[in-house]
């Protein structure tokens, strides 16, 4: 991916940070975009000999994210990869206790935020071989009781957007795929009380294990893949 330009949202920490590092190690210049301070991820990439810049932006702010992605596209106004990883989980699992404000928040970040990122990036992705990789979830494919219905709905929507994008943008050179992780050992889930025995492997995923799959989908090796949701869940859900 030498010479390519990539944007990774939600890349200040967690899965997004690991994806940014993987893309940088593959040779891409990575814009680390997050609502939180991206300095630590940028510093790690620089220490490893990679190229990165950090931008703070709220993906639910349509105008703000458009400006940030345009800045990331650089003087040539070109992007090769967009990875949408920024997401929130929500605190409520049972629908009986679900407040409307939390539904609006989770759907606003996970669905609308993803749409605004894609909308903003497409003008810079079209017309050459490029990639969109969205981080979904096994919950968006099979449901389950580990997450609330709003989170499940939001990740199912992300998968649907990827399929729509694959069909509508293939002739413009844009390939779109998603990764559907199982439970990953990140700050977002450590306090949720997940059992490490929830899947056949008997452990939570490491963030870098998800990142490597995302990096593959962003690479030339995935040149004939589009509209695919790749399961990375330790055997929790198959097929």
Which residues does residue 9 pair with via DSSP β-bridges, in sequence order? 33
CA distance 37 to 176: 28
Q: Which residues are the active-site residues?
A: 151
CA distance 175 to 169: 7
Task: Report the phi/psi class of residue 13: left, alpha or beta, with left for phi > 0 and alpha for psi in -120 to 50.
Answer: beta
Give the C-alpha distances (Å, rounded to integers) separating 104 from 66, 112, 117, 148, 153.
21, 10, 18, 13, 12
């Amino acid at each position: 991916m030498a010479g390519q330009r990539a944007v990774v949202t939600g890349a200040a920490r967690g899965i997004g940070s690991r994806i940014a590092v993987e893309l940088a190690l593959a040779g891409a210049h990575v814009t680390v975009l997050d609502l939180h301070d991206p300095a630590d991820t940028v510093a790690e990439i620089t220490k490893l000999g990679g190229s990165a810049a950090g931008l703070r932006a709220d993906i639910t702010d349509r105008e703000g994210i458009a400006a940030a992605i345009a800045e990331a596209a650089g003087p040539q106004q070109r992007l090769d990869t967009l990875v949408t990883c920024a997401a929130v989980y929500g605190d409520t699992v049972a629908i009986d206790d679900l407040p409307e404000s939390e539904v609006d928040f989770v759907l606003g970040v996970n669905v609308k935020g993803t749409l605004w990122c894609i909308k903003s990036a497409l003008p810079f992705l079209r017309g050459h071989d490029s990639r969109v990789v969205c981080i979904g979830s096994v919950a968006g494919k099979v449901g389950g009781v580990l997450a609330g219905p709003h989170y499940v709905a939001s990740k199912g929507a992300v998968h649907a957007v990827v399929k729509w994008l694959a069909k509508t943008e293939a002739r413009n050179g844009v390939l779109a795929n998603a990764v559907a992780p199982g439970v990953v050992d990140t700050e977002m889930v450590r306090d949720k009380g997940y059992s490490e025995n929830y899947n056949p492997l008997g452990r939570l995923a490491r963030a870098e294990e998800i990142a490597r799959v995302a990096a593959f989908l962003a690479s030339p090796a995935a040149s004939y893949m589009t509209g695919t949701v790749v399961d990375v869940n330790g055997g929790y859900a198959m097929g």
